[in-house]
Amino acid sequence: MSFSAVNEFEKQLADWWGAPFAVATDCCTHAIELCLRYKRATSIHTVPKHTYISIPMTLEKVDLPWDWTDEEWFSFYEIGTSGIIDSAVYWKKGGYIDLSLQCLSFQFKKPLNLGRGGAILCGTEKEYSDLKAMAYDGRDQNSNTYWGDQRISTMGYHYYMTPETAVMGMERLPSSHKRATKQWSWQDYPDCSQMPVFRKKGMMYYV
């Protein structure tokens, strides 16, 4: 099975959401990490206190200054002023937020249930090609050239989606809206700011 299945799934996913492009990844948290690394010097980063714990952990991982907010969000939220949208629990046909990097989850509880997987919806071909390379070890996924002979100039992170997952995604995408029965919000999550892991000495938040 070839990576052409991933390319086709990305096209179908972008069309379903009404986005110009989609980059398939191995999970939503890694999709967000790629976006943060891609835009790391361009914005302020904040996270709602009530969210999934991997988001503030990812900001620590990529060594960005950040702070908590008391935002009462519904369906999705933006990470500060970054233009990066945590859309892990949002599922709506035609629901792409223009000009954003909108990150999706295909975890087993989500409307598109693939067990594991994610994607980044994006607005430009450059964002697509750059993020695609970052997800795939800096390599050109569509090249027939052996990777050792490619002139790799992009730092990669091995966060790509497998062809097998993409095939499953194409099979389940048309009926995924039937599982989107709940509107998730900040009320579904604990206050992560009170967890001991975020009180360690040396953690620097945006002030």
What pLDDT, in 10s, does the model give residues 109-168? 899 999 999 999 999 999 999 999 999 988 877 767 776 767 877 889 999 999 999 999
Q: Which of 1-10, 34-43, 142-151, 158-167 has the highest mean pLDDT?
A: 158-167
Predicted local distance difference test score (pLDDT) of residue 2: 81
Q: For residue 54, which amino acid is it?
A: S
Evaluated on CA atoms 64, 110, 126, 158, the torsion sign reads: positive
pTM over 0.85: yes
Question: Is 7 in contact with 21 (CB distance < 8 Å)?
Answer: no
Predicted local distance difference test score (pLDDT) of residue 202: 39
Q: For residue 108, which amino acid is it?
A: F
Strands 67-69 and 46-48 turn out to be: parallel
Domain boundaries, the chain: 4-199
Q: How confident is the model at residue 201 (pLDDT cuts 50, 70, 90)?
A: very low
Evaluated on CA atoms 85, 4, 38, 206, the torsion sign reads: positive
**Nearest by Cα to 81 from 105, 61, 58, 65:** 65
CATH number of 4-199: 3.40.640.10
Evaluated on CA atoms 180, 185, 191, 192, the torsion sign reads: positive
Report, as an integer, the average pLDDT of 46-72.
Answer: 95
What pLDDT, in 10s, does the model give residues 168-178? 999 999 999 98
Q: Output the CA angle 41-44-50, nearest 5 degrees.
A: 130
Residue for token pair 């989500």: 110
